[in-house]
Structure 1
Amino acid sequence: MNDISGFSGLALSGGAGDDLTAKLAAFVRHREAFSPNTWRQLLSVMRICWRWTQENRRSFLPMSPEDMQDYLFYLESLGRSTSTISVHAALMSMLHRNAGLVPPTVSPDVVRAKKKINRTAVISGERTGQAVPFCRPDLNRLDAAWKSSPRLQHLRDLAFVHVAYSTLLRMSELSRLRVRDISRAADGRIILDVGWTKTILQSGGIVKALSARSSERLMDWINAAGLAGEPDAVLFCPIHRSNKITSVTEVPMSAPCLEDIWRRARRLAGEMHRVKTNKGRYSSWSGHSARVGAAQDMARKGISIAQIMQEGTWTQTQTLMRYIRMVEAHKGAMVGLMEMDNWPD
C-alpha cells in the first residue's frame, strides 16, 4: 500500500467507487504539487488510519465525522502529541478534498474533539517540543577542534554545520546544494544559489552569503574531497572509512546520515547531558538546531523579527516566536517598566 490508488477500493462507503478511483488517480499523477516530505507523511497517515478503520469496521473514505472523532481520540490514547494529531487530521482532510469529498474535520463535532484533545494536553503539562539550539559558541568550539583535522569526515561535518548555521537552511535544503551553486562575491566570500526552499518556491530562487570563515571552511572541504571540478556533485557526500569520499555523487545524503553529523558534533562538544522533554524528542542537537540557535543569536543581538524571518525563510511569525520566546521574554514591556531607574517610591 505504497500508493494512494491502492486504497481507492478499500473501506469505501456508497457506490461512487469508480468516480473516487478516478479522482484519486488524478491526485497521484499530480503529486509533484506537494513536497516529498508532505507526500511521505500523507502515505504514512493513510496507512495508520486505514489500519484503524479495518480493525474497527469503520469507513476509510469517505470518513464520517463520528469516525474521525474516534480516530483522533484513538491517537490521543496512544500518547501522540497534539501536533501529531493535528497533522493526521489535516492530511486526512487534504485527502478528502482532493478526492472531491467533504472533509470530516469541518464538522463541529470534530472541531470540538480537537479542542478537547488540545485543552486536555495543555492542562496535563504538554509543551511544544523545540530542537536544542546550536549557537555561535558551539560553532566556535567545533571549529577549533575540526578545522585542522586530517579526516575528511571532520572537514565535511565542520563545513556542513558552518553552512547550516550561516544560512538557516533546513536539512533537506542543505542536502540538495551542489558544487555548481557556488559563486564568489567581489571580496572572495561564497554566495550560494539555493534555488528554492520549503516556503519559497519561485523561479528566481534565493541566494545565501557565507562569512569569510564559513567560506574558508567550505572550500577546505571541497578542495580536500576533490569536488572542485565536479559541478553536478552534491556539496555534502558520504565518506568511506578509508578517509576517501565514497564516490562523486549527485544523490543527496539521507536524513539519518545528516543527523549523524549532529550526533558526532554533540559527542565532540562533550555536552552529553540530556534535555528534559515531554515526548522523548529533542534531547540533543538535530537537523533544526542550527536554525533555532542562529535565530536566537540574532534575537540576542537585537536584529528585528522581520530580518530574522527573512534569513530563515519563515512565513509565519508564530513559528519564529516559538524559537526565540526565551530570548524575547526579558524584552517585554512590563519587565522594562518594572526595571526603570526612575520608578517613583
Structure 2
Amino acid sequence: MSPYCHSTKPNWRSEFQRLEGAYAPSTMRSYYADVQAFVDWCKEADHAPFPASVETVCAFLEAQGEAKAVSTVQRRLYAIRKIHRLMRLPDPTYDEDINLALRRVRRAKLARPKQAKGLTRDYLDRFIRGEPDTPWGLRNRAMLALGYELLSRRSELVALRTEDIKTSNDGTLRVLVRRSKSDPFGMGRLAFTSLRTAELVQSWLDWRGPDIEWLFCPIYQDKPINRDLSTTTVKRMIKAAARREGLEAKIVDEFSGHSLRVGAAQDLLRMGHDTAAIMRAGGWKSVNILARYLEKAEHNVWA
C-alpha cells in the first residue's frame, strides 16, 4: 500500500495560512504551487510527501530538473523546506545528498539563464512616440517613461500609489518605491525623474482624476477603475509597443516586463556610471545579478 496519505493535503495548505501577511502574495502563490507540485509527484511516484525522506526529495529534484529551470528546482526545494518546518516535521533538505542532487541538476543545464532584452533609451523614445492618443496611450507613455527612469521591476511599477509621487520645485517628480523584491519590509527607496517623465505622468493624472488610489489603474469603457494593474500588463504593454514599431517577432519575444529595468541599467553603464552607482539607483543587493544585465552594454562600451 502506498505510504502517501490523502489527509496530508488539507493539512499542509492550512499550515501555509500562517504565513499570510508575512510574505508577499507572489511568494505565497509560489509556495502553494511548488508544494502542490511536490505532493502530486509523490502521489504519482508512490512516495510519502510528509515527512519526506532525503531519497524522495533527491528523486523529486532530479525529476524536476529534466523539464524545469534550475531556479525553479531550487525554489521548490525551499518550499519543501518551509512546509516541513511549518508542520514541525524532520527537515530532510539539509542533507549532503540534497546538495549533490542540486549540483547534478545544475551541471545538466549548462545553458546560460535567459536574459530579457534591454529596453534602452532608443527603444523607449520610439515606444513612447508610438503610443496612440487614447487614455490607454496616456497611461502607457507614463508607465514606460517612469518604469525606465525608476529602473523598476514590473511589480514595483504597478504597486505605486498616487501618494508615492511628489512634484519638486523644478517640476520633476520625487518617487517613493515602497516595497520591492529586495526590500520585503517596505523601507523603500527614493528615485527622481526627468521633466519629460513628470509631464507624461501629469497628463495621465489629468485624465485619470484625483480619486484613484493607484498611480496606474485599469481602464474600462473609457473610465479609470480604482484597483491596481497586474504585473502581466507591463509585459503586454512593452510587447505591444514593440510590435507597433514593426520589430521582428524574434526581437519582440526577447522583451519582457523586466526590460525597462535592464535597459536603463545598460544605458547608465554606457553613460559612464560605475556599478555601485547603478546598484544604488536600482536598489540591487547582488552585484552578480546586475552583472548579467550589464554584459551586453559592456560589449558596446568597449567596442
State the TM-score, normalizing by the size of structure 1: 0.79
Report the Cα offset of residue 128 of structure 1. 0.5
* Structure 1 counterpart SS, 2:109: helix
- The equivalent of 1:279 in structure 2 is none
Note the 1:1-345 alignment, pairs <5 A.
Answer: 9-10=7-8, 27-77=16-66, 79-122=67-110, 126-146=111-131, 149-202=132-185, 204-225=187-208, 227=209, 229-230=210-211, 232-240=212-220, 242=221, 244-245=222-223, 247-249=224-226, 251-274=227-250, 283-328=253-298
Q: 1:83 to 1:266 in 2, by over 3 A?
A: same
The size of the alignment, in residue pairs, is: 299
Question: Deviation at 1:69?
Answer: 1.1
CA–CA distance in structure 1, aligned partners of residues 186 and 266 of structure 2: 30
Larger of the two Rg values belongs to structure: 1
Greater alpha carbon shift after TM alignment, 190-199 vs 315-324:
190-199
Post-superposition offset of 1:202? 4.9
Task: State, as a whole percentage, how many aligned pairs show the same letter.
Answer: 27
Q: Output the CA distance in 1 between the equivalents of 2:213 and 2:263.
A: 29
1:98 and 1:132 map into 2 onto residues whose CA distance is 39
- Cα deviation 1:165-192 (Å, max 9, x = unaligned): 0101211221121222221111111112
How far the C-alpha of 1:150 sits from its partner, in A, is 2.7
Distance 1:222 1:111, change over 3 A: same
Superposed structure 1 runs of 4+ greater than 4 Å apart: 23-27, 201-204, 329-332
1:32-52 deviations in Å (ceiling 9; x for gaps): 211111110010011111111
Name structure 1 gaps, 5 residues minimum.
1-6, 13-20, 276-281, 336-345
Go from structure 1 to structure 2 and tell me whether the alpha carbon gap of 1:204 and 1:35 turns closer, same or farther (over 3 Å shift): closer
How far is 1:143 from its partner? 2.7
Q: Which moved more, 1:55-64 or 1:266-275?
A: 266-275
Deviation at 1:198, TM superposition (A): 2.0
Kindly state the Cα deviation for residue 141 of structure 1 after the two structures are TM-superposed. 1.0
8 Å Cα contact 1:199/1:315 also seen in 2: yes
The structure-2 alpha-carbon separation of the partners of 1:297 and 1:103, relative to structure 1 and needing over 3 Å to count, comes to: farther
Q: 1:204 to 1:121 in 2, by over 3 A?
A: closer
Query: For 1:180, what is the secondary structure of its paired residue?
Result: helix
